[in-house]
Structure 1
Amino acid sequence: MSGTPILRGMATVTYFADDLDAATRWYAELLGIEPYFEFPGPDGKPGYREFRLGDYQHELGLIDGRYRPGGGSTEPGGAVLFWHVDDVTVALERLISMGAKEYEPRVDRPSGFITASVVDPFGNVLGVMYNPHYLEVLAATKG
């Protein structure tokens, strides 16, 4: 191996939505920004939209449900990506007020970690977490 880590950082998290326009509006309202990138599907209609957000400008992509891989589940489950938030309770309340359904309630975990997750109106699991290590790393990079 060359010394370069095989996993270098999160590039894009993608969520599928059967109504791409509704999902785009919902996430634009939640994030307070519009998507910066759009790519058409083979039929010329929008098939993918992408937001850049957060301290590291991570990508959140929305994919038209027509392009869900064969055999892909339409039910919540599997891996949960947790986005760092400053206040899990406030974030959870906001998500639920926008129509998300609680998936896992707020859980106070050891060492100052707090997590919760919801299912967005389009069937995707969205995790939120207060992570003290995230803030330590962020402070060190801005040092």
Structure 2
Amino acid sequence: MGDLLGVEEVLFFVDDVQDAKKWFSDLLGSEPYFDHANYCAFHAADTTVAVHPSDEKTSSGIAGQVIYWRVADIKKTIAHFESHGCSLFRGPIYGVDEVWVCQLLDPFGNVWGLLEK
């Protein structure tokens, strides 16, 4: 796959970083390892999940690409996300590639993909 080595960072765009920071902390179960008024970053598995202010070039919401997070129990993880204000967007479905997948919308209009093998 050329020079691609893996997903380093997933960047979520929100209206107010500091307002969104608490929600991300609650969902991910940790405080940010980097915290600034215009950017904060969390560790999630082997990936950085970061929050950045939306602007004229990039708004929050669905933009086409979806990052899928591998999970051990998709039903349990869906319930966790729903308890933090997310709603199902697609699925869950058992795909033709024999994995469970779904997409959830967070309170900021962003999509989170979940995948269970």
Return the TM-score normalized by structure 2.
0.88
Q: Relative contact order (alpha carbons < 8 A, sep ≥ 6): 1 or 2 greater?
A: 2
Task: Mark the runs of 5 or more structure 1 residues left unpaired by the alignment.
Answer: 40-45, 132-143
| Counterpart in the other structure of 1:60 | 49
2:35 equivalent to 1:38: yes
Q: Rate the CA distance shift 1:48–1:73 in 2: closer, same or farther, 3 A.
A: closer
Q: Rate the CA distance shift 1:77–1:102 in 2: closer, same or farther, 3 A.
A: farther
| Counterpart in the other structure of 1:114 | 100
2:85 equivalent to 1:99: yes
Once residues 34 and 68 of structure 2 are traced to their aligned partners in structure 1, the CA distance between those partners, rounded to angstroms, is 23
2:4 equivalent to 1:7: yes
Return the TM-score normalized by structure 1.
0.73
Once residues 15 and 69 of structure 1 are traced to their aligned partners in structure 2, the CA distance between those partners, rounded to angstroms, is 15
Once residues 123 and 47 of structure 1 are traced to their aligned partners in structure 2, the CA distance between those partners, rounded to angstroms, is 19
Once residues 66 and 48 of structure 2 are traced to their aligned partners in structure 1, the CA distance between those partners, rounded to angstroms, is 16
Q: Secondary structure at the match of 2:76?
A: helix
How large is the Cα RMSD of the aligned pairs?
A: 1.8
Once residues 10 and 74 of structure 1 are traced to their aligned partners in structure 2, the CA distance between those partners, rounded to angstroms, is 20
Shift of 1:119: 1.0
| Counterpart in the other structure of 1:135 | none
For 1:50, the aligned partner's letter is A
Paired residues, number = 117
2:39 equivalent to 1:48: yes
Displacement over 6 Å in runs of 4+ = none
Once residues 19 and 91 of structure 1 are traced to their aligned partners in structure 2, the CA distance between those partners, rounded to angstroms, is 26
Name whichever structure is richer in strand by fraction.
2
Deviations along 1:59-106, one digit per CA (max 9) or x if unpaired, are 1111022xx352x34442401000111111111122122111211120
Name whichever structure is richer in helix by fraction.
1
Q: Rate the CA distance shift 1:94–1:13 in 2: closer, same or farther, 3 A.
A: same
